[in-house]
Amino acid sequence: MKRVFVFGALLALVLAGSQVFADVTINIALANNPISQALSKLAADNYKAAGVTVNIAVLPENDLRQKLTTEASTGGTTYDMFFIGPYEASNWAKNGWLEDLEPYFKALPAKTLAWYDRADLIQGMVGSVSLKGDAYAIPFYGESSFIMYNKALFAAKGLKMPDQPTWDQIYDLAKKINDPAKGIVGMTMRGAPGWGMSGAPFVTIVNAFGGRFYDMNWKATVDTPEQRAAWKMYKNILRDAGQKDILSYTYNECIALMQSGKCGIYYDATSIAPPLESAGSLVKGKVGYAMPPHEKMTTNTAWLWNWSMGINPKSSDDKKKAVFDFMLWATSKDFIKMTVDTDPTGSSTPPASRSSTYKLAAYKNAPYAAMTLKTLQSTDFTHPTLQPVPYTGLQYIAIPEFADMGTQMTQWLADYVVDKITLDEAITKTNDLFNQVAKDDGYQK
Amino acid sequence: MRKKSDIPFALPAIIVVALMTQIPFLLTIVYSTLRWNLARPDLPIKFVGLDNYLFFLNIPHFPAVPEFYSIVWQTILITGLSLVLCTVTGFLVSILLDNKVPGVNFARTLMLGPFFVMSTASGVIWKTTVFNTTFGWYGVIFKALGMTPVDLVSYHPLFVIIFLFWWQWMPFFVLVILAGLQGIPVELNDSMRIDGTNWLQSTFLVKLPLITNHMQVAIMLGLVFIIKEFGLILVTTAGGPGTRSYTLPYAVYMQVFNASNVGRAGALATITVLLVLITVNVLYRSLKKRGEAVA
């Protein structure tokens, strides 16, 4: 009996103690890429807020998307901060799955507002995650897409990369560089299926070839000569001059391959250039940059994306405040300066979020800075295709169903690339699916 | 009279079991009749009857078979071949480990290793350190021999999945079958030796019939475990290329977590449960019949 009493007293003490020292723990999941990894590390070492514990998980991009979408749509509270892009932001803000950030900014003291300098955030990026003028997320970093190439391999074969290449030229160059006997890969691109994975380069290829996914009446237009040419180009590059394990390659594998100096051309996000120029990279100082390839469509053939931070509206008020505070810290000029101080190569620094970043010495002189800015300026996500379309979005279609449709399309693309199905089958399946979604969910009138 | 009075005592337990096991399943059946897409909260949730089932079962362009049937076939193929491989090799390895030789305990422990590794961890290890054609052992060895390694994960996904299932679950079969073999009385082994039976006769005509019950348990549990295995597929092939290594549980996962389509996921889950129940039942009956015949 005495033991029970002592145990009870101890338990009561522990419970009371936990009440007195009640901490706020916020859970955050980030997409696995070099800049997010840097944030995760810097936050663990440098972010201090009284009574706040920050748990950061870094997840593969596809997993992160699935987890957060389920979380938001079912009102879950596992994660208090949503790490999302414009595709999610535009749909989620409408559905009430993101907290409006304006009241939080209004509640900030003038001194903090001045320190944060909201006007310094790149407005195009802020606009892509806002609804009716209210910010629902803050851009952490942004990206467009361009061509990166290994100048040493090009010089060795006496080849020259045009400033504004076409996809046909890229294919020819990739084939000339490709040399399996020496372990040299002509060109690498994301091959792992997923709308935000292989879907990103692939959809910009479709746009460049003059293809579109729907006409103005939401009738699927996947079975067109333009689309077929784009599907073939993606396959031919990867099969004739690409990495062997095509379908295992996310951008992380592509980066590793390019960094090893054994790859000629790499088409991917502008935010991938800094890791190529970082200390551990064997191609540091040897990478050339060119505009995103075009074909029938001569401009606006890149993609536009940003990774932004929003608040889970279902979290408790204490947690929301803690998350907002963390978001301000992670998107502040101080944070950007800290990343440059700890890693002068700029490979940990979030690009395209603040104008002031481009005034920093590390950025002004970086070999990719000028081309990044030029590519960003060339994009217009409201007019993604040669012919008019009822949707917006450059590497995606900004409707909630695209996460699934896009993923299925890239699965069939993968099937086609490794000869499991024919082009006809892949195109028919995709066209049928796109038509069905448009019918089922009330887009086709 | 006595029977009547027993029911109230059993009732709480029956209710708890019914609530715990049947409510989620009944809810799944209810969901399967709804048109409910989590990604479109603006569209109303409405009753659509069997539409979600027809979405999968319908064959609109015969003889072209829809994805669903390929996935069912892949599930059968993966589960069936894994079971056969696990049973045959599990039995043979058990026979090997049933001998009293120095270090046999160590060998048994090593053999059981894969069973205790988390399936997601073993999947990642195999995919990156073995099967990768650039960095993995497989790639390095093939290149050293002057051959070009084929990317198995992309081109032969079913082989990879079945191999990994076998690697992961064979030790479980060994565990159960070895327990059976060790239950065979020493006297029987002695009399077999005295009667002059050879290895083949003693193994397949004497030992195998004696451990039929253990084999049945291993196969039944193996079927239930393997058919719902999900982590290994997710981390190795992610169901790909395309849907070439999807199984029914993986397809259910994609319907919920990628398509956010609760209704269709419910229908697919219900179909999966029905198919598994039927398979388990058929297998159980045939094994039981065979067991009785042997006895």
Question: Model confidence over A43-54: pLDDT tens digits?
Answer: 999 999 989 999
pLDDT at A366 over 90: no
Over the stretch A282-308, which tens digit does the pLDDT of each residue have?
999 999 999 999 999 999 999 989 999
What is the rounded CA–CA span in Å between residue B47 and residue B41?
15
- For chain B, report the end-to-end CA distance as a whole number of angstroms: 40
Is some CB atom of chain A closer than 8 A to the CB atom of B260?
A: yes
CA nearest to A441 within chain B: B43
Yes or no: say if A318 and A150 are a contact pair by the CB < 8 Å rule.
no
Q: Do domains A16-143+305-364 and A145-303+380-440 have the same CATH topology?
A: yes
Joined tokens for residue A280: 């551990």
Domain assignment present for residue B73? The answer is: yes
Joined tokens for residue A294: 């075009």
Domain assignment present for residue B242? The answer is: yes
What is the rounded CA–CA span in Å between residue A90 and residue B57?
35
- pLDDT score of A8: 58
- pLDDT score of B242: 80
With contacts defined as CB-CB under 8 Å, which chain A residues touch B239?
411
State the average pLDDT over residues B115-126.
Answer: 91
pLDDT band (50, 70, 90) for residue B295: low
- pLDDT score of A4: 54
Q: Which of A121, A141, A86, A183 is nearest to A275 (CA)?
A: A141
Kindly report the nearest CA distance between residue B39 and chain A, in angstroms.
Answer: 6
What is the rounded CA–CA span in Å between residue B96 and residue B108?
10
Joined tokens for residue A356: 């002031």
- pLDDT score of A7: 55
Is some CB atom of chain A closer than 8 A to the CB atom of B41?
A: yes
Over the stretch B133-171, which tens digit does the pLDDT of each residue have?
877 899 889 888 988 888 888 889 999 999 999 999 999
Domain ranges of chain A: 16-143+305-364, 145-303+380-440
Asked whether the bond before B241 is cis by omega within 30 degrees of 0, the reply is yes
Task: Give me the CATH number covering residue B184.
Answer: 1.10.3720.10
Low-confidence winner among A215-229, A365-379, B17-31, B171-185 (lowest mean pLDDT): A365-379
Is some CB atom of chain B closer than 8 A to the CB atom of A355?
A: no
Low-confidence winner among A186-190, A410-414, B190-194, B267-271 (lowest mean pLDDT): B190-194
- pLDDT score of B4: 65
State the average pLDDT over residues B275-282.
Answer: 88
CA nearest to B255 within chain A: A404
pLDDT at B131 over 70: yes
Task: Report CB contact under 8 Å: B134, A411.
Answer: no
Is some CB atom of chain B closer than 8 A to the CB atom of A418?
A: yes
Task: Report CB contact under 8 Å: A418, B42.
Answer: no
Yes or no: say if A291 and A146 are a contact pair by the CB < 8 Å rule.
yes
Alpha helices in B32-128 (DSSP H): 51-57, 67-97, 104-112, 119-125
What is the rounded CA–CA span in Å between residue B178 and residue B187?
18
pLDDT at A268 over 50: yes
pLDDT at B293 over 80: no
Cα B154 → chain centroid: 22
Q: What is the pTM of this model?
A: 0.82
CA angle B254–A67–A397, rounded 5-degree value = 70
Domain limits for position B52:
14-118+153-294
State the average pLDDT over residues A158-168.
Answer: 96
Instruction: Count the neighbouring beta carbons within 10 Å of the beta carbon of residue A166.
Output: 16
CATH number of the domain located at residue range(s) A16-143+305-364 in this protein: 3.40.190.10
Q: How many CB pairs under 8 A join A and B?
A: 97
- The complex's ipTM works out to 0.76
CA nearest to B150 within chain A: A244
What is the rounded CA–CA span in Å between residue A268 and residue A170?
14
Low-confidence winner among A155-159, A259-263, B162-166, B196-200 (lowest mean pLDDT): B196-200
- pLDDT score of B243: 85
The fraction of chain A above a pLDDT of 70, given in percent, is: 95
Q: Which of B260, B261, B264 to mutate to test the interface with A (most CBs of A within 10 A)?
A: B260
Helix A317-330 with A34-46: angle, nearest 10 deg: 110
State the average pLDDT over residues B26-55.
Answer: 91
Mapping DSSP onto H, E and C, the string for B224-250 reads HHHHCCCHHHHHHCCCCCCCCCCCHHH
Joined tokens for residue A438: 């448009």
Which residue type sits at B123? Answer: G
- CB-nearest to B240 from A91, A243, A411 is A411
Domain assignment present for residue B285? The answer is: yes
**Of the spans A68-77, B55-64, B130-139, which averages the highest pLDDT?**
A68-77
Instruction: Count the neighbouring beta carbons within 10 Å of the beta carbon of residue B108.
Output: 17
Over the stretch A73-122, which tens digit does the pLDDT of each residue have?
989 999 999 999 999 998 899 999 999 999 999 999 999 999 999 999 98
- CB-nearest to B242 from A248, A401, A412 is A412
Domain assignment present for residue B185? The answer is: yes
- pLDDT score of A20: 41
With contacts defined as CB-CB under 8 Å, which chain B residues touch A406?
none
- pLDDT score of A17: 45
Domain assignment present for residue B57? The answer is: yes
State the average pLDDT over residues B128-135.
Answer: 86
Mean pLDDT across chain B: 89
With contacts defined as CB-CB under 8 Å, which chain B residues touch A62?
238
Q: Which of A260, A404, A423 to mutate to test the interface with B (most CBs of B within 10 A)?
A: A404
What letters, b where the CB count within 10 A reaches 16 and e where it falls short, cover A104-128?
bbeebeeeeeeebeeeebbebbbeb
With contacts defined as CB-CB under 8 Å, which chain A residues touch B262?
none
State the average pLDDT over residues B213-236.
Answer: 90
Q: Which of B178, B168, B158, B157 is nearest to B80 (CA)?
A: B158
Yes or no: say if B229 and B276 are a contact pair by the CB < 8 Å rule.
no
Low-confidence winner among A57-61, A187-191, B240-244 (lowest mean pLDDT): B240-244
Domain assignment present for residue B38? The answer is: yes
Over the stretch A10-34, which tens digit does the pLDDT of each residue have?
555 444 444 444 589 999 999 988 8
Mapping DSSP onto H, E and C, the string for chain A reads CHHHHHHHHHHHHHHHHHHHCCCEEEEEEEECCHHHHHHHHHHHHHCCCCCEEEEEEEECHHHHHHHHHHHHHHCCCCCCEEEECHHHHHHHHHHCCCCCCHHHHHCCCHHHHHHHCHHHECHHHHHHCEECCEECCEEEEEECEEEEEEHHHHHHCCCCCCCCCEHHHHHHHHHHHCEHHHCEEEEECCCCCCCCCCHHHHHHHHHHCCCCCECCCCCECCCCHHHHHHHHHHHHHHHHHCCCCHHHCCHHHHHHHHHCCCEEEEEEEHHHHHHHCCCCCCCCCCEEEECCCECCCCCCCCCCEEEEEEECCCCCHHHHHHHHHHHHHHCCHHHHHHHHHHCCCCCCCCCCCEHHHHHCHHHHCCCCHHHHHHHHHHCCCCCCCCCCCCCCCCCCCCCCCHHHHHHHHHHHHHHHHCCCCCHHHHHHHHHHHHHHHHHHCCCCC
Pick B260 or A189 by higher pLDDT: A189
pLDDT at A224 over 90: yes
Three-class DSSP category at B261: strand
What is the rounded CA–CA span in Å between residue A8 and residue B61?
69
Over the stretch B265-274, which tens digit does the pLDDT of each residue have?
999 999 999 9
State the average pLDDT over residues A343-368.
Answer: 84
pLDDT at A1 over 70: no
How, if at all, do strands A287-290 and A145-150 pair? antiparallel
pLDDT band (50, 70, 90) for residue A139: very high
Question: Sheet of A24-31: strands edge to edge?
Answer: A52-59, A24-31, A81-84, A305-311, A138-143
Count Cβ atoms within 10 A of the Cβ of residue A234 and give its class: 0-12 exposed, 13-18 middle, 19 or more buried.
buried
CA nearest to B67 within chain A: A429
At residue B34, φ and ψ (nearest 5 deg) are: -110, 150
pLDDT band (50, 70, 90) for residue B3: low
Q: Which of A146, A145, A140 is nearest to A125 (CA)?
A: A140
Over the stretch A389-413, which tens digit does the pLDDT of each residue have?
999 889 999 898 998 999 999 999 9
Q: Which of B240, B244, B229, B222 is nearest to B175 (CA)?
A: B222
Task: Report CB contact under 8 Å: B239, A411.
Answer: yes
pLDDT at A265 over 90: yes
What is the rounded CA–CA span in Å between residue A202 and residue A237?
12
- CB-nearest to A441 from B40, B149, B155 is B40
CA nearest to B256 within chain A: A70
Task: Report CB contact under 8 Å: A73, B39.
Answer: yes
With contacts defined as CB-CB under 8 Å, which chain A residues touch B259?
403-404
Second-level CATH architecture of A145-303+380-440: 3-Layer(aba) Sandwich (3.40)
Q: How many domains does chain B have?
A: 1
Low-confidence winner among A254-258, B54-58, B279-283 (lowest mean pLDDT): B279-283
- pLDDT score of A79: 96
Is some CB atom of chain A closer than 8 A to the CB atom of B40?
A: yes
